[in-house]
Amino acid sequence: MATIISDTSRTFSEYLLIPRLTRKNQSIESVDLRSPLSVVEPNELPRFSVNIPIVSACMQSVSGTSLSIALARQGGLGMVFCSQSIESQAEMVRQVKSHKAGFVTSASNTTADTRLEEVIRLMRESGHSTVPVTDDGTATGKFLGLITDQDFWEFEDDLDNKVCKHMTSIEDVIFGVDGISLREANNLLHRHKKDCLPILDAAGNLSSLVFKKDYVDHRRHPLEMLDDSKRLCVGAALNTHDYKERVPELIAAGVDVLCFDSSDGFTEYQMEGIAWIRANFGPEVVIGGGNIVSAEGFDFLISELGVDFVKVGMGGGSICITREQKGVGRGQASALLEVVHRRDEYFSETGRYIPLCSDGGLANDTQIVIALAMGADFVMMGRYFAMTDESPTPKTSINGQMYKPYWGEGTHRAQNWQRYSDGMSSRKMMFEEGVDAYVPLVGSLAEVLETTLYKVRSTMVNIGANSLANFRESAVLTRVSEQSVVEAGTTNVFQFSRNREFEEAEWGNTG
Ligand code: IMP
Ligand 1 pocket, 383 CB below 6 A?
yes
Task: Note the pLDDT of residue 213.
Answer: 79
| Atom 22 of ligand 1, nearest CA residue | 320
> Residue 360 CA: which ligand 1 atom is closest?
5
Task: Note the pLDDT of residue 417.
Answer: 82
**Which strand (E) or helix (H) includes residue 502?**
helix 500-507
- Entry pTM: 0.82
Task: Note the pLDDT of residue 502.
Answer: 47
Phi, then psi, of 227 in degrees rounded to 5: -85, -175
Mutate to test the pocket of ligand 1, among 67, 263, 292 (most ligand atoms within 8 A of CB): 263
Greatest extent of the chain over all pairs of C-alpha atoms, in Å: 84
How do residues 475-507 score in pLDDT, each as one tens digit?
999 999 887 777 777 667 776 655 455 455 556
3-class secondary structure, 438: strand
| Atom 10 of ligand 1, nearest CA residue | 57
Residues forming a β-bridge with 498? none
Exposed/middle/buried for residue 225 (C-beta within 10 Å: 0-12, 13-18, 19+)? buried
Alpha-helical segments (H) within 360-437: 365-374, 383-386, 412-415
Closest CA to 282 of 315, 243, 313, 251: 251
Contact between residue 174 and residue 197 where contact means Cβ atoms under 8 Å apart? yes
Cβ partners under 8 Å of residue 222, min gap 6: none
> Hey, what amino acid is at 387?
M
> Residue 406 CA: which ligand 1 atom is closest?
4
Closest CA to 22 of 374, 470, 377: 470
**Which strand (E) or helix (H) includes residue 291?**
strand 286-292
Regarding beta strands 257-260 and 396-398, do their DSSP bridges make them parallel or antiparallel, or are they unpaired?
unpaired
Q: How far is the CA of 270 from the centre of ligand 1 (A)?
A: 18
- 10 annotated active-site: no
Mutate to test the pocket of ligand 1, among 262, 320, 509 (most ligand atoms within 8 A of CB): 320
Separation of alpha carbons 362 and 381, rounded Å: 7
Separation of alpha carbons 274 and 305, rounded Å: 10
Ligand 1 pocket, 317 CB below 6 A?
yes
Please write down the HEC assignment for all residues of 472-493.
HHHCCEEECCHHHHHHHCCCCC
Task: Note the pLDDT of residue 102.
Answer: 77
Q: How far is the CA of 291 from the centre of ligand 1 (A)?
A: 11
Distance of CA 479 to the CA centre of its chain: 30
Edge-to-edge, what's the strand order for the sheet holding 396-398?
Answer: 396-398, 401-407, 436-440
Task: Note the pLDDT of residue 506.
Answer: 59
Kindly state the DSSP code that residue 21 receives in the 8-state scheme. P
DSSP assignment string, 206-237:
EEEEEEHHHHHHHHH-TT--B-TTSPBP-EEE
Please write down the HEC assignment for all residues of 114-183.
CEHHHHHHHHHHHCCCEEEEECCCCCCCEEEEEEECCCCCCCCCCCCCEHHHCCEEHHHCCCEECCCCHH
Ligand 1 pocket, 408 CB below 6 A?
yes
Contact between residue 315 and residue 334 where contact means Cβ atoms under 8 Å apart? no
- 320 annotated active-site: yes
Spans in the chain with pLDDT lower than 50: 422-426, 499, 502, 510-511
Task: Note the pLDDT of residue 322.
Answer: 85
